[in-house]
């Protein structure tokens, strides 16, 4: 088959492991895979580089959002290859690219005893994009999840951080039972506001422990 990203021929690697252990098929070539950069040990909440809690997360801990996130991590850095990937996946809407990180996500979420809750999409935005890009990343890895939240029509993208912190009503509880232990999942972690706004609502509705997982730390 051809690599989903560079479209060059990849030697399809059918191994015994892939047959017996039901491993996910590799959809990109080794060269494209090598372009993505994994996070190393960093901030215990968001994996930003450096020792201990990062400046950004420390600041959050001085606000009313202190403690809403118990721990967390991000898997990849936002480098050139990742920027290109997100552009093609989210902006060009290349749905099949949801499979690119399936095996990594499967490994990450498989060893988990929390219930996975993806960050939801606003209904209008969803119609525009035509697919829920966060859900699809999990679907591609056959990871079960529950939606406990809905999202209002506010694009966080254009807001400054202080404005974001003021936004109380971005997420609302959708009436589903809120599990005690939650792994909140999103594609991209930038300022941390999305995760914290969502986590706060979930804690108010009865969640005891919230971990976060972001595919990418910008």
| Interface residues toward other proteins, by CB under 8 A | 1-2, 6, 31, 88, 92-96, 126-132
Q: Kindly state the smallest distance separating residue 149's Cβ from other proteins, in Å.
A: 17
| DSSP 8-state code for residue 96 | G
Name the β-bridge partners of 216.
Answer: 76, 188
Nearer to other proteins, 16 or 91 (CB): 91
Helices (H) and strands (E) in the chain, counts: 9, 6
Q: Kindly state the smallest distance separating residue 123's Cβ from other proteins, in Å.
A: 9
Query: CA–CA separation, 139 vs 161, rounded Å?
Result: 31
- 196: which 2 tokens? 């914290």
**H/E stretch holding 128:** helix 123-129
Nearer to other proteins, 17 or 147 (CB): 147
Residue 122 phi, psi (nearest 5): -65, 145
Name the β-bridge partners of 172.
Answer: 150
3-class secondary-structure state, position 117: strand
Nearer to other proteins, 126 or 218 (CB): 126
Nearer to other proteins, 111 or 127 (CB): 127
Nearer to other proteins, 95 or 154 (CB): 95
Nearer to other proteins, 131 or 173 (CB): 131
- 202 contacts 174 by C-beta, under 8 angstroms: no
Q: Using alpha carbons, list the distances in angstroms from residue 105 to 3, 62, 175, 218.
A: 19, 31, 27, 18
Q: Kindly state the smallest distance separating residue 121's Cβ from other proteins, in Å.
A: 9
Query: CA–CA separation, 155 vs 172, rounded Å?
Result: 15
Q: Kindly state the smallest distance separating residue 128's Cβ from other proteins, in Å.
A: 8
Query: CA–CA separation, 139 vs 135, rounded Å?
Result: 6
């Amino acid at each position: 088959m051809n690599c989903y990203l560079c479209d060059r021929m990849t030697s399809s690697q059918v191994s015994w492991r892939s047959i017996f252990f039901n491993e996910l098929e590799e959809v990109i070539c080794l060269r494209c895979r090598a372009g993505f950069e994994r996070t190393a040990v960093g901030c215990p909440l968001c994996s930003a580089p450096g020792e201990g809690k990062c400046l950004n997360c420390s600041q959050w801990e001085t606000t009313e959002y202190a403690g809403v996130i118990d721990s967390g991590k991000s898997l990849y850095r936002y480098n050139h290859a990742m920027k290109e990937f997100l552009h093609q996946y989210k902006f060009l809407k290349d749905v099949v690219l949801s499979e690119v990180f399936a095996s990594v996500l499967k490994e990450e979420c498989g060893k988990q005893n929390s219930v996975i809750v993806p960050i939801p999409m606003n209904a209008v935005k969803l119609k525009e994009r035509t697919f829920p890009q966060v859900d699809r990343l999990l679907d591609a890895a056959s990871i079960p999840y529950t939606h406990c939240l809905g999202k209002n029509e506010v694009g966080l993208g254009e807001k400054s951080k202080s404005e974001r912190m003021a936004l109380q009503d971005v997420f609302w509880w959708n009436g589903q039972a809120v599990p005690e232990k939650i792994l909140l999942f999103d594609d991209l972690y930038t300022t941390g506001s999305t995760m914290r706004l969502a986590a706060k609502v979930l804690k108010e509705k009865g969640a005891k422990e919230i971990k976060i997982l972001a595919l990418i730390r910008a």
